[in-house]
Amino acid sequence: MKLEKRIELDFNNSIIKTIGNTPILRLKNIVSHLPDTMEIWVKLEGFNPGGSVKDRPALQMVKDGIESGELTPDKVILDSTSGNTGIALALIGSILKIPVTLCMPSNVSSERKARISAYGAEIVFTSPMEGSDGAIVKAREMYEQNKEKYFKPDQYANPGNPLAHYLTTGPEIWQQTEGRITHFVAAIGTGGTVMGTGRFLKEKNEQIQVYAAEPDDAFHGLEGLKHMESSLVPEIYDATRLDGIVPIPTEPSYHLARRLALEEGIFAGQSSGGAVWAALNVAETLLAKGVKSGVIVTILPDSGDKYYSKGLWDA
Active site residues: 54, 271
Contact 42, 298 (CB under 8 A): yes
Question: Residues 6 or more apart from 197 whose CB is under 8 A from it?
Answer: 165, 166, 169, 170, 173, 184, 186, 210, 299
Rounded to the nearest 10°, the torsion over CA 185, 187, 193, 198 is: 30
Within 97-247, residue ranges assigned H as helices are 110-118, 131-145, 160-164, 170-176, 192-204
- The residues with which 246 forms a beta bridge, in sequence order, are 213
Contact 11, 40 (CB under 8 A): no
Rounded to the nearest 10°, the torsion over CA 15, 132, 134, 106 is: -70
Contact 277, 253 (CB under 8 A): yes
* Among 149, 132, 18, CA closest to 74: 149
Q: Outline where DSSP puts E strands in the chain.
A: 24-26, 38-44, 76-80, 100-105, 122-126, 150-151, 183-187, 209-215, 244-248, 294-300
